[in-house]
Amino acid sequence: MSHGWAGGFVVLALLRAVASPADAGHAGASAVPVVRPDYVKALLDAREPLVLVDFRKPIEYRAGHLPGAISVPITELDRRYREIPEAPRIVLYCQCPLEEIATAHVFLERQGYRNHTVLEGGFDGWLRRQYPVVK
């Protein structure tokens, strides 16, 4: 990985100190901004400009993802982050611990991204609400 992730691991260590196991679905309190799935769905329904970034593995993405989402596996973020447009609004999601997506959020911030947030509950939170997925 690139050295850009090194600073993110400081955040990761701090989050591990305060995060509970319930945070694994991204629902817990964190240092990164989160957005509720119902708000993201409303934006999609209104056809508002929105970039959804799926950090899961390609096979998981192909099995089903949020409508319009792009796939950038979190393990490849340091090499592929330039594929993510810097605007308008960016929503990040995965099925990973809060600490992992928080580290990705910080990494993007260090690359100059300013309008990005994390989907509360991650992909599982989206599915629990029975919102649409694309296969």
- Which sign does the torsion angle of CA 41, 45, 50, 52 carry? positive
From the candidates 72, 94, 101, 104, give the one annotated as an active-site residue. Answer: 94
For residue 49, give the 3-state DSSP assignment: coil
Q: What are phi and psi of 108, to 5 degrees?
A: -65, -40
Nearest to 117 by CA among 20, 19, 36, 13: 36
For residue 92, give the 3-state DSSP assignment: strand
Decide: residue 64, CB within 10 A, 0-12 exposed, 13-18 middle, 19+ buried: middle
For residue 51, give the 3-state DSSP assignment: strand
Active site residue 94: yes
Which residues are the active-site residues?
Answer: 94
